Amino acid sequence: MEQENVDNAWDQPIDHLDEEKTIVKMGMARIRGYVESIEQLLAERKCKLEQNEPKWTAGMTEDEWEEAWGEYGSDIHEIDYELAKIQRYALFVYSYSFFERILLDVASTYGFTKNLPPFSPPTRGKSIQEAKKYLIDIGAIDWPESWSTWKEIDSLRLLRNRIVHHDGSLSKNQDENPKEDFLKQWSTYLSIEGYNFELSHEFIFRVLDTFENFLNELYTKF
């Protein structure tokens, strides 16, 4: 039912901003709930595993001891790194897609309610840029390039593309990676290990805050 409310909210006229803001908050809150639940499950699984840490027993050979610790270490690594990475990547891509869909709906609904030429379906991979272009060129929205949140979102777009199409690896072409100043500002939440982007357990919360702050700024321009 909650998802249906989110999906249908943007059928309302653009003037109903209070209702639309509420729907966005509902969607963001739902994603936050997903993140908290998954991180809790990972923590509980690790705690349970740590309770079964290998212990030396009488008659155990050196090879058996090393094998037991090898399996234990592998299981810990799987939870701390592999599973956490997969879950955080997936939640980030899901969060970005939610924001992207909201922004596309904003452009479409704004054009409809203002009797403007319709917003055409965007080119794959350029959705938010085309929504921005439509709102500026057709909608005459004041969209300062200096918006810090938009700059962050543009780097999040590049990060999303690296995760979706290249398993989170760095590109040799720097234009395809998030900007250096963004990486410095987000260093608490986002790091580079080897050639891959690593997301902290707080990363998605920072992403959602950024999306909400941007939408709140955008609403003031209508």
Using a CB cutoff of 8 Å and minimum separation of 24, what contacts does 113-120 make? 113/13, 113/14, 113/15, 114/14, 114/139
Give pLDDT tens digits for 66-77.
776 667 667 666
Whether 10 shows a pLDDT value over 50: the answer reads: no
Distance set, CA 181 to CA 58, 151, 177, 178, 211 (Å): 56, 10, 12, 9, 18
Which residues fall within 8 angstroms of residue 106, CB to CB, at 6 or more apart?
A: 10, 14, 131, 135, 215, 218
Query: How confident is residue 59, by pLDDT bands cut at 50, 70 and 90?
Result: confident
**If you ran DSSP here, which 8-state letter would residue 117 be given?**
P
Q: What average pLDDT does range 30-58 have in this prediction?
A: 82
The first and second tokens of residue 129, run together, are 């840029």
Per-residue confidence (pLDDT) for residue 217, from 0 to 100: 86
Per-residue confidence (pLDDT) for residue 80, from 0 to 100: 66
Whether 16 shows a pLDDT value over 60: the answer reads: no
Mean residue pLDDT across the chain = 82
More confident residue, 175 or 6: 175
Indicate the pTM of the whole model: 0.79
Per-residue confidence (pLDDT) for residue 202, from 0 to 100: 92
More confident residue, 56 or 114: 114
Nearest 5 degrees, angle CA 23-CA 25-CA 26? 65
Per-residue confidence (pLDDT) for residue 9, from 0 to 100: 46
Helix (H, G, I), strand (E, B) or coil at 191: strand
Give pLDDT tens digits for 74-106.
766 666 667 888 889 999 999 999 999 888 888
Per-residue confidence (pLDDT) for residue 79, from 0 to 100: 67
More confident residue, 147 or 195: 195
* pLDDT above 70 as % of the chain: 80
